[in-house]
Structure 1
C-alpha cells in the first residue's frame, strides 16, 4: 500500500497547511533574528562578533546537517524524523528565549538549524509521497513554496512587533507554534508502510561521522572568521579532512562526487552561496547600523520589507519568470542587481539614515532574489538525470546555507574592527564575485548537458 493511498483522503486537506505552516516558521528564523539581533546583543552584553552567531549558528547547523538529514530520514522514516525535529525545535526555541548567557543561546540556534535541516526537505517529501501526482500535487507544492517565501516577511513583521516588548518574545514565539504543529502532525502526517525506512542507507557509522565532521568544520570556520582565530581555522581543516576520509571510506557517501564534475551545478551552488551570504551579511550590517542610528526594531523591520516582499509576492510565478528569461540570463540579472543594491546603501554618518534613502538599495536586493533564486535552482538541477536531481538539490541547498554562515561571520568581524563601511565593501565584493560566476554561466547555459 502506498503512502498516498494509505493517507485518509479527508485528512489530506489538513496535511498541506500543517507542513506549509512549519515551512513558514522555518523561514522566519533568519529575518526575525536579524531584526532582533541588536537588542539581543544589548540585552546579553555581547559584542557583534559573538551575537552574530544567532544568525550564522542557525545557518551553520542547517547547512552542516542537510546531507546527513536525508540519510536519517531513510533510516527512521519521514514521519518520525519530522515530528521528533518539531519537538526538539520547540524545546530549543524555549531554551534560547530563557538563556542568560550567549553561549547557551548560540547552542540553541545551532540545534534549531539542525532541526530545520530535517523538517524543511522532509515536509516536501511528505507532500510528494502523500498527494497524488498531477494538479493536486502541483498546488500543494506551490502552497508549500509560497509559505516558505512568505516566511521572511512574516519574520520581519513578527520581530518588529515583539522585539519592542523584549527580544525574548521573538525567540520564544516559535516554541508554542512548533508544539501546535506537532500535535496536528500526529493526526495528519501519514504513517509509512512497514519496511520503508529504518534499515536502508548503508553503513551508518560513516554517514554519522561525515555529517558530524562537516557540521564541526563549518562551525569552526565561522568561529575562525569571526574571531580571527588561526587555531579555529586549523581545527576546521582537520574536521574537513575527517569528513573527506569518512566519505572515501563509505560505500555510499553523503556527496556523490560525480555531481562535483557537473559545471552548471557547481556554478549555481557558488553563485547561490555568494547571493545568500552577501544578502544576509548586508542585512546584518544594516540592522546594526540602523540600531546605532536610533531606529526601533519595528522601523528596521519596515525598512527591510522591500528586500523580502518581492520574493513573497512573486513566489508562485518565479518558475515562469526564470523560464521566460532563461535560467542563465535570470541568474546574471539578479546577480548584478544585488551588488548594485549593496553599493547604494546610504552612508549618512552620525545623522542617521532616512527611510527614503534605503528604498533603492533594499528594492534592488529584493529584485535580485526574484530574478535569481529560483533560476539558480533550476540551473543547478535542470540538466541532470532525474535520479540525481534530489542529491544535487541537497548539495546545492547545503552551499546556500554555508554562504549564509560564512560571509556574515567575516562581515561581523570587519564591522567590529572597522565599522559599517568596510563591512559593506566586503558584502559588495562577495556579491560581485557571485555576479562574475553568473556571467560566466551565460557562456555555458545549464540547459546544455555538461
Structure 2
C-alpha cells in the first residue's frame, strides 16, 4: 500500500471506492493516454467516467481556461456572465427543445435534482416514474429514483418512485420477445401502472443506462412511452449526462433514437461538455423552467471558467465531427470486441452504440453475473496498459468502455487486442 493510499483511507469515507488492488495516482494525460505516478502510460478507455470527452489536455480547452482565469474566475449568477449566456444559447439551440431555457449546475446529480424540482413543482405531484436498473446521481432525491440498489444507500425519499420495465433489453420477463413485442409489453406495463396510481409528475430515463452497464431498449420505446405520458400530462425527462454530445455516434442526444414525437420536456446534461471541468445543466421549455415561484441562484453553476471550457470544448467537438468519429471508430471497435467475445466462454453480450460499449461477463455456461471475472479483467488490462470501467445491474459484472471521442482506429485496435489478452488470462 502506497503512502498516498494510506492517507486516502485515513481521511476518506469507507464507501468512496477506488479501482484496482493497487490504486492508481494519475498525474497527467495527453490525447487518449494518461500516466501514473510511477511513469506508466495507459490507453484510457474510460475517460474519467465518460467525462474527458474530447481528449486529455486538449490545447483549445486549456487555453480557454487559462485566459478566462486570467480575467475573472468567479462572479455567481447574480451578475451578467457572457460565457454563460453564449454557452446557454448554443445548448438551447442544440437541445431541440422549443423556447428553451438553460440552467447550469456543477454536476449531473445536481442537474437531475433540479429537473425533479421543476417537474414536481410544475405538476404539483411528488410521484416519479423511473426505469429499473437506472442511476441518476448521489443526492438524496437522485438516489431515491435510482433503480439500481447497489447505488441507492437509503430507502428514505422525498419522492414516491414507481419503476417501469424497458431499460434492459436482454434480461427480465420480456427478454425473449421481438423488439416490437418488447416495446408493446413495456407500454402495456406503463399503462397498467398508471391505472393504479395518482397522476405522476414525470418519467426520468437514461436513453442508454450508464452505471447499469450500457443497457438500452429498442429504438422507439420512449417515443411509445411519450404517447402514453402525453395523454396523462406527465413530463418526460431525458437524462443525457452520459449519452449527450454525440457519444452514441448515431445521434447528438440519446433521446433522438426515440424522438418521433419530439424532444423531451426536460433534458439534463453534464460530464463530457466540460471535458473534465465541473459543468452540469438542465434544459426545459420556458413554461416548465419558469414554474418556480421562489427565488433561486447558483453560486458556482455557470462559472466563467467552466463556461469558457465548455464553449471551447463544444466548438472543438462540432468542428472536428467527433460524433461522426464516435460512429465510425466506435462501430469498428464494437466489431472487434464482439469477435473477441465470441471466443470467450465468460462473455454473455457485447452491446453499445458509438463509443459507449459494455461487455457483460457471466460464469461460463450460465447467465449468472460474474463480478469476480470483471474485476480480474480490469486488473489484467491495467497491467497491459489499458484502463476500463465497470458497472451493470446489481453487480459490477459489465466492463464499461467509453474512451475520448477523438479515439483513432489504431488506438481502437490496440485496446481491443489488450482486452482480448486480458479476457484470455481470466479464462
TM-score by length of 1: 0.25
- From the two aligned structures, give the one with the greater strand fraction: 2
Structure number with the higher helix fraction is: 1
